[in-house]
Amino acid sequence: MAASFEFRLAPNEMQQSLSKSSHLSVYSVVSRKAGVIEAEIEGEVVALNIETGTCYGLNQVGSRIWHMLATSPRIGDICEALRAEYSVGSDDCERQVLDLLEDLYSEGLIAPIEEK
């Protein structure tokens, strides 16, 4: 049985994220940026951008995504892996993953590499 897929976005944050312009797609390849320090506390990642001083906390699913970013994956591959692990539909998974990655991009924690 797959675990439930919970994400950190509250309904008002989802509405705000819908109004953001998108820099990423499921075809984007993304990587963590240099100069980011991370720590794992009770299974959740806290990432600190040294340049900006921004500290970003990730829940269990966000932390799973963060760990996948170590290999510079295509966003669609992240979604595929999460759908295999969690009970989540394709559209919901892609939307929520893209929302999170857009936030991480805006905070200077990740960068797109290319599109495949």
Task: Answer whether residue 57 is part of any domain.
Answer: yes
CATH for 61:
3.90.930.60
Note the pLDDT tens digit of each residue in 9-67: 444 444 444 445 578 999 999 999 988 999 999 989 999 999 888 899 999 999 999 99
pLDDT at 16: 44
pLDDT at 115: 57
What is the SS3 assignment for the chain? CCEECCCCCCHHHHHHHHHCCCCCCCCEEEEECCCEEEEEECCEEEEEECCCCEEEECCHHHHHHHHHHHHCCEHHHHHHHHHHHEECCHHHHHHHHHHHHHHHHHCCCEEEEEEC
* Domain span including residue 68: 29-112
Mean pLDDT value of segment 63-86: 96
Q: How many structural domains does the chain have?
A: 1
What does pTM read for this prediction?
0.79
